[in-house]
Copies of this chain bind each other. A is one copy, B any other.
């Protein structure tokens, strides 16, 4: 089973590609089939499918196949982990700034 760190690795790596981010953008507007998603791109379909599979493994999107058509959805919790990661760091960082400020205030007093 993949640990927390691997998971975040995956998410960051998944989003570190313009094609995949563009797919995310498109899916923000609502679900779309593979073909619909692929049309804006020059790239060959199999290459594009790679990106979709990476997005799905990164838990950014889901998909369901009905007949021969696969429809893709942005996962409602797509950005949750990454937002948590950011807010954790922001908290640490701000705690540190506060500490620094206190320290400086105390310096002034003495």
Q: Which of A's residues lie within 8 Å of B, judged by CB?
A: 5, 8-9, 12-13, 15-18, 21, 24-25, 28-30, 74, 79, 82-83, 86, 89-90, 92-93, 96, 100
A90, closest chain B residue (CB): B79
Task: Please state if A16 and B9 are interface contacts (CB–CB under 8 Å).
Answer: yes
A3, closest chain B residue (CB): B18
Q: Given the known inter-chain contacts A74-B93, A79-B90, please indicate yes or no for A16 contacting B12, CB distance below 8 A.
A: yes
Minimum C-beta distance from A79 to chain B (A): 5
Q: Is the interface of A mostly helix, strand, loop or mixed?
A: helix
The listed residue with most B CB atoms (<10 A of its CB), out of A5, A13, A86, A93, is A93
